[in-house]
């Protein structure tokens, strides 16, 4: 279980996808994680929970199964690309974001990127990406970018789980929803989030990995016998 508070970034070293698309091996360089990982540990990579299958001198490797390749954008990562990383939250640790399983539900696409206050993008001040900073330091360097609002397109089948003031994970980042539509929603990104996660570089047209709040899905399933009685399993009984 994760909380959507990105601990740092890593750099894709290699991605080897099987010829039949039945899986892949992803290697990520993250020197700040060296010494803090063991074989079999879980790591969220852009919000997708992966198992460490190999420790390298500079990071780790993980296997990506076919189902994960179908539901996420991990299969389109390229060498040198930056990814958000988070280790599981420890029992008793701070739940700084919200409950994130690391099970990506689908992909969203950035529709708009709008500055919120301060200087508009293109004014000559840092915008659109994270300034250089020590990996995993969590501190922006060279001046923080302005806040922005992202509007993202989403599959209507997932949109019903997204509500204003609710939580959503984008590329593993826990965010609060500011507005919703039938097939879109918006989130606001503060300068710190822009600086220390890959969302600072997301532009219109870019894909993001999306996980909706699992609590909404549980509620829907529990209410299904009353809201959609025809879908109740044969032999089931209301209590």
What CA–CA distances, in Å, run from 115 to 12, 77, 187?
A: 29, 27, 12
Q: Cβ distance 71 to 65 under 8 Å?
A: no
pLDDT (mean) for 51-69:
95
- Whole-number average pLDDT of the chain: 85
Q: Has residue 217 got a pLDDT over 60?
A: yes
Place of tokens 């894709």: 12
Provide CB contacts within 8 A for 162, sequence distance 6+: 154, 168, 177, 180, 185, 212
pLDDT at 96: 80
Q: DSSP letters of the chain?
A: -B-S---EEEEEEEEEE-TTSSEEEEEEE-GGGTTS--TT-EEEETTEEEEEEEE-SSEEEEEEEHHHHHHSSGGG--TT-EEEEEPPPPTTS---S--B-S---EEEEEEEEEE-SSSPTTSSS--SSPPP--TT-----S-PPPPEEEEEE--HHHHTT--TT-EEEETTEEEEEEEE-SSEEEEEE-HHHHHHSGGGG--TT-EEEEEE-HHHHHHHHHHHHHH-GGGSPTT----
In the chain, the percentage of residues whose pLDDT exceeds 70 is 84
Residues pairing with 151 in the sheet: 112, 186
Q: Has residue 99 got a pLDDT over 90?
A: no
pTM of the model: 0.82
pLDDT tens readout for residues 136-172: 434 444 444 589 999 999 999 999 999 999 999 999 9
If one compares 167 and 236, the residue with the highest pLDDT of the two is: 167
């Amino acid at each position: 279980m994760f909380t959507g508070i990105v601990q740092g970034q890593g750099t894709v070293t290699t991605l080897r996808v099987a010829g039949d698309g039945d899986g892949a091996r992803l290697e990520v360089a993250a020197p700040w994680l060296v010494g803090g990982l063991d074989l079999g540990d879980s790591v969220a990579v852009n919000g997708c929970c992966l198992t460490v299958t190999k420790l390298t001198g500079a990071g780790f490797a993980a296997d990506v199964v076919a189902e994960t390749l179908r539901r996420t954008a991990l299969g389109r990562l390229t060498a040198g690309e930056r990814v958000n990383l988070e280790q599981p939250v420890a029992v008793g640790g701070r739940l700084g974001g919200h409950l994130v399983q690391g099970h990506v539900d689908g992909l969203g696409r950035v529709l708009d990127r709008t500055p919120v206050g301060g200087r508009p993008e293109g004014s000559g001040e840092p915008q659109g990406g994270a300034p250089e900073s020590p990996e995993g330091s969590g501190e922006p360097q060279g001046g923080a970018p302005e806040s922005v609002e992202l509007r993202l397109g989403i599959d209507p089948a997932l949109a019903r789980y997204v509500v204003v003031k609710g939580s959503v994970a984008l590329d593993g980042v826990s965010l609060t929803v500011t507005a919703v539509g039938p097939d879109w929603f918006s989130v606001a990104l503060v300068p710190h989030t822009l600086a220390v996660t890959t969302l600072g570089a997301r532009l219109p047209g870019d894909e993001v990995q999306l996980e909706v709040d699992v609590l909404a899905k549980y509620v829907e399933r529990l209410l299904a016998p009353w809201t959609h009685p025809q879908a109740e399993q044969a032999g089931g009984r209301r209590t």
